[in-house]
Structure 1
Amino acid sequence: MKILVTGGAGFIGSAVVRLAVERGHEVVNLDALTYAGRLENVAAVADSPLYSFEHADIRDRAALARIFAAHDPDAVMHLAAESHVDRSIDGPGDFIDTNIIGTYNMLEAARAQWTATGRPPGFRFHHISTDEVYGSLGDTGLFTEETPYDPRSPYSASKASSDHLVRAWFHTYGLPVVLTNCSNNYGPYHFPEKLIPKVILNALHGKEIPVYGEGLNVRDWLFVEDHADALLLAVEKGRPGRSYNVGGHNERRNIDLVHAICDCLDEKRPRETGSYRDLIRFVTDRPGHDARYAIDPDRITDELGWKPSVTVEQGLEKTVQWYLDNPEWWEPLLEIEGVGTRVGTA
């Protein structure tokens, strides 16, 4: 299968690219290389004859038309997106332009190519989205594919909008689409503005570890390599028009997750005195911070046979070790605007 992956130099996208090439798929990586897109993330497969790269922005319709005509992919895996909630609070315009207008451009470019090649029934447009479109849960319950949308941030609202566009192109034009909505990812190559890498790197530098509110917000954590496996299953076997929730059954309060990271670091690289837990500081909560996310992944398990391979404790150990072993990857990123300081306090 020839797969066009948008955002393939990003965190989740690069995991998809690496796994797809490893499994023998031909991959075209389309990425604008914004601040979070790093070609180092796909260096392991960059020399493969199955891999090619297109430096382009999904907001550029002409570039998309050229790339689709040149490569004629069998499937699209659309991951390119602005994804940091805090940045969406400070600058929502970039999220509207990329996540909504960019997705519209991708849908139209894919539809044009699909139509020009005789509407092959095996073609798939796989849109990768987030559980944040569903809003916030109370102490009980799980997000299912039938949960009504209730986004609370500019980021989640933009992703909800793109989900609706994808479904509309299926119902109106017959474009064979598949959607997935995932829980919070973590793992190697995670950009250091996100919670888990920020905790690891602040701890290693002896800096305060900020935790929003009292750290009681709950997230369902998914190891990125397990997510990549689920995404490839969805694009290969998912039914057109169907959506699949992808989660790890790994709910943790933020404070418990931070404690687990600190404990792992205490074991792997002890401080001269005390524990990394001593660096934890509670800070003013994020505006509109959702209380709890939790995914019911039964549909993708029952229909496609997917299940996560690691618990959050096992995945965290792998993740912490990767950051300890790869300072040459993350050290240059700490100088990027917004990485070393808090954003999204408006």
Structure 2
Amino acid sequence: MGLTNFWNGRRVFLTGHTGFKGSWLSLWLEKLGAEVSAVSLEPETNPSLYLRLSPWNGQNHHIADIRDAAAFKQRLIAFEPEIVIHMAAQALVRRSYKNPAETFATNVMGTANVLDAVRETSSVKTALVITSDKVYANNGSGVPFIETDTLGGKDPYSNSKACTELVVQSYRDSFFKERDIRIATVRAGNVIGGGDWSRDRLIPDFIRAFESNQPILLRYPEAIRPWQHVLEPLGGYLAFAEALTVAGERELPEALNFGPDPQSFAMVFQLAEALGFAHGVNNVWKPAPGKHLPEAPALTLSSDLALSAIGWRPRLNLQQTIDWTAAWYKANREGADMRAFSLDQIAAYEETLS
């Protein structure tokens, strides 16, 4: 599944470009030569990966809210993109408990606004909507989810993403099939890598604890998650969007999972200890005191369909994922040019695709 020159000169409209995954994807699209127009809110963290990777001289980046339907539609239609990649979301589970209405407004109605704008264009051939591995109705069995499993979600974040899947399905069946606009969703596992400073995520919480010479507090240390480096699913998104755009009469799935190799499934405390080893420290975690909001005890994905449909498979094992992540934060602490460093990591990952 090597990346081709397909993206060179391709007009891409991207939402959520100031977030963790969005910043990495923006940089990769720029490296591939795509013409990108992007819409997002201001970066929500300080430090911010988006700012670390500046300057963004080659792209049109706009600060705007996908909940503002009229303004969003105007920007998208004016750009005349061929491909839309919708990543903008409220992506934190604990925040969704605090602000459920905000989460549904952004993730459900925001997606409807994006697709309604696509409906008004004549240029778009492909729309890719990023949801989550948490869209599945999870009974805690630990059996890897496949794309046809029942959608669900108890917490507001997971539920909002399951609702997003239904919104996509409705727009596909109601509007896009008759116009031959390809639209699909993608579901990724627990993504880690350099440049994430969000709250209530393991890697940035670990980095903050490490830099404060404190142990990280783990709410559910024995919870199992499908850890993967951020470039893994992003490479899948690019490959899937390309396949959808050039598919012709070929039938492709309406949704794909992009998860790590099953050997990269690990408990939260195991990843914390591996991060500690990579940073040369021991006794890196302890249980967080108090009662915690519920989270699924086990969550794993099957990516077999992605392999058979578009030839995608994970390239990095768990140790490589940890090493690449630790190296990024180390370089950042030492004052390296993080745009150049990140481009080097993208180039190294591209070599694994050939």
Q: Same fold (TM over 0.5)?
A: yes
What is residue 128 of structure 2 aligned with on the other side?
126
CA RMSD of aligned residues (A): 2.0
Distance 1:38 1:220 in 2: 23
Asked if 1 retains the 8 angstrom alpha-carbon contact of 2:73 and 2:114, the reply is no
Structure 1 residues 54 and 328, CA, compared in 2 at 3 Å: closer, same or farther?
Answer: farther
Answer whether contact 1:85 1:153 (CA < 8 A) is retained. yes
Q: Which residue identity does 1:263 align to in structure 2?
A: F
Equivalences for 1:231-310 in 2 at 5 Å? 231-238=237-244, 242-249=254-261, 250-266=264-280, 270=281, 275-277=282-284, 279-284=285-290, 286-310=292-316
Return closer, same or farther for 1:263/1:113 CA change in 2, 3 Å cut-off: same
The aligned counterpart of 2:162 is 160
* Alignment partners' CA distance in 2, 1:33 and 1:17: 15
TM-score, normalisation: structure 2 = 0.83
Structure-2 separation of matches of 1:328 and 1:95: 36
How big is each residue's C-alpha offset from its partner over 1:213-261, in whole Å with a ceiling of 9 and x where there is no partner? 4x11100011101121111111111356611101012200011111111
The one-letter code sitting in structure 1 at the alignment partner of 2:75 is I
TM-score (structure 1 length as normaliser): 0.84
Runs of 4+ in 1 over 6 A off after TM superposition: none
Q: Does 1:325 align with 2:336?
A: no
Asked whether the 8 Å contact 1:32–1:56 carries over to 2, the reply is: yes
- 1:79 matches 2:91: no
- 1:94 pairs with one of 102, 115, 119: 102
1:209 aligns with 2:216: yes
1:186 and 1:243, CA in 2 relative to 1: closer, same or farther beyond 3 A?
same
CA 1:155–1:66: 2 relative to 1, 3 Å: same
Consecutive unaligned residues in structure 1, runs of 5 or more = 330-346
Deviations 1:138-172 (A, max 9, x none): 45421100110120210011111111101110011
The amino acid across from 1:198 in the alignment is D
Deviations 1:267-290 (A, max 9, x none): xxx5xxxx243x533434532210
In the alignment, the residues of structure 1 paired with residue 234 and residue 52 of structure 2 have an alpha-carbon distance, to the nearest angstrom, of 14
Q: Tell me whether 1:58 sits opposite 2:66 in the alignment.
A: yes
Identical residues among aligned pairs (%): 24
Within 5 Å, which residues of 2 pair with 1:223-238?
223-238=229-244
Of 163, 176, 180, the match for 2:186? 180
Q: 1:34 to 1:321 in 2, by over 3 A?
A: closer
Rounded to whole Å, the distance in 2 between the matches of 1:242 and 1:162 is 13
| 3-state SS, counterpart of residue 287 of structure 1 | coil
Q: Does structure 2 retain, via aligned residues, the 8 Å contact 1:65–1:109?
A: yes
Whole-angstrom distance in 1 between the partners of 2:52 and 2:291: 31
For residues 39 and 282 of structure 1, the distance between their equivalents in structure 2, rounded to whole angstroms, comes to: 30
Structure 1 residues 66-75 or 33-42, which shifts more? 33-42
What one-letter code is carried by the residue in structure 1 that aligns with 2:231? E
Equivalent residue letter for 1:258: A
Deviations 1:42-83 (A, max 9, x none): 416x123xx211221101112112212221000110000000
1:248 aligned partner, one-letter code? P
Task: Label 1:199 to 1:137 Cα distance change in 2 as closer, same or farther (>3 A).
Answer: farther
